[in-house]
Amino acid sequence: MSVRTDHPQTAATGKGPRRTVISVDAMGGDRGPEAVVSGLAKSARKNPDIAFILHGNEAELSALVAKRPELAGRVDIRHADGVVSMEDKPAQVLRNGKGSSMWSAIEAVRDREAEVAVSCGNTGALMVLSMMRLRKLPGVNRPAIACYWPSKNPAGFNVMLDVGADVRADEHDLLQYALMGTSYARNSLGLKRPRVGLLNVGTEEHKGRSEIKAAAELIADAAGAGEFEFIGNVEGSDIPSDKLDVIVTDGFTGNVALKTAEGTAGLFKSFFMEAFRATLPARIGALFAARQLKILNRRTDPRRVNGGVFLGLNGTVIKSHGAADATGFAAAVNLAFDLARHDFNHKLAARVASVPSHGQDGATSNDEQDGKQE
């Protein structure tokens, strides 16, 4: 069942302005559909050419959308009875999740009704459904999740992958991560020749597991055709530095690093606030530094870089943090809009195909690979 306030795909009908359509799972997050709809309204204010297919409880969503004038004429509500919970096992979702909002959101991308799907639901279930319904790109063995990592680089971020799609990765997988991460950095951060580092326990060539050593050789050999610079092994302390742009690792290591960084950032933020509240002079100092503190808080606010991108699929899927509020969800939707606007997934597919892997022949031209940056 579908309730349309105005069909968003006006590009196909020619009856209105061209809009980029984002498919949204409204029911999977910890904060419920209200935070999702509020995030869509924030994104709609920023992006006049965006529209949405919203999946979930029709009655609840219709009432929430009606309260947001920014969404008038931009939302197609698709009713879905089922909800994938955070406790659901991926295998259960495969068997019983067909009527869920998550399944419906991915189907809209599969059917080319929308260009990107966004969900803050169960990560494992979202990845399994995305792989099953969208399928992997030719040449990709294991898809990866890429995220922005705050750094000292001019753009303010590095790209890290994999951060949790699959705990395993051999040397060929790590090579594919390097290619996909390079394409993501090139198209999302505007970098012509990204610098790639392979996360290891030391920078020396002889260190690390056998697959890490083999991956270093493969990535180095692919750097020319892939149009990136391989700087070799890097350590955990290099992740936020300005010496590289893309950090390549397996999903186990990447996820541990990500969660450790989130916890450490929260801890230091609490220490910082305690220090400014400790004494009267400290509180007065905080008043004088209020503007600088606000800038610092904004720069380090994880909500503003919310969104892990599933790379290596026949369609783009973005995983928002499960606890994202309206600001965080809007950031994930804005990322989806930006990637769709730059035709990212086609460029990613060409980039993976451009470098031989497992005996493949690469014959894709540079113009076909990534196009010109805006």
Domains located in the chain, CATH noted: 1-140+312-341 (3.40.718.10), 144-302 (3.40.718.10)
Element housing 331 (H / E): helix 326-341
Specify whether the backbone of 34 is left (phi greater than 0), alpha (psi in -120 to 50) or beta. alpha
Task: Read off φ and ψ for residue 282, nearest 5 degrees.
Answer: -65, -40
In the structure encoding, which two tokens stand for residue 97, read together?
Answer: 């999740």
Answer whether residue 2 shows pLDDT above 60.
Answer: no
* Cα radius of gyration rounded to whole Å, the chain: 21
Tokens representing 330 are 């809007």
What distance lies between CA 164 and its chain's CA centroid?
12
Statement: residue 114 has pLDDT above 60: yes
Is residue 332 predicted with pLDDT exceeding 80? yes
pLDDT-derived band at 369 (thresholds 50, 70, 90) equals: very low
User: Using one digit for the tens of pLDDT, what is the confidence trace for 244-253?
Assistant: 999 999 999 9
Q: How many CA atoms lie within 13 A of 261 on its CB side?
A: 21
Write out pLDDT tens, residues 176-204: 999 999 999 988 888 999 999 999 998 88
Helices of type H across 31-150:
33-46, 58-66, 90-96, 101-110, 123-134
Taking residue 298's Cβ as centre, other Cβ atoms within 10 Å add up to 10
- Token pair 């290591």: residue: 253
- Containing 215, the helix (H) or strand (E) segment is helix 210-226
Q: Tokens 């999302």 map to which residue? A: 188
Residue 111 clears pLDDT 90, i.e. is over it: yes
Amino acid at 18: R
Measured between alpha carbons, how far is residue 63 from residues 57, 75, 213, 324 in Å?
Answer: 10, 12, 56, 21
**What span, in angstroms and rounded, lies between the C-alpha atoms of 89 and 74?**
34
| 198, 202, 208, 211: CA torsion to nearest 10 | 10
Beta-carbon contacts of 235 under 8 Å, excluding residues fewer than 6 positions away, are 199, 200, 201, 202, 203
- Beta strand 195-199 pairing with 229-234: parallel
CA atoms 33, 34, 39, 41: torsion sign:
positive
Q: What is the pTM of this model?
A: 0.81
* Mean pLDDT to the nearest integer, 88-107: 87
Q: What is the pLDDT of residues 278-331, one digit of tens each?
A: 888 877 887 777 777 676 666 666 666 778 899 999 999 999 988 888 989 999
Spell out the alpha helix ranges (H) of 227-315. Answer: 251-277, 280-288, 290-299
| pLDDT value, residue 42 | 93
Task: Return d(Cα 205, Cα 110) in angstroms, integer.
Answer: 42
Question: Coil, strand or helix: which one is 289?
Answer: coil
Chain segment 124-180, per-residue pLDDT in tens: 899 999 999 999 988 888 899 999 988 889 888 999 999 988 888 999 999 999 999
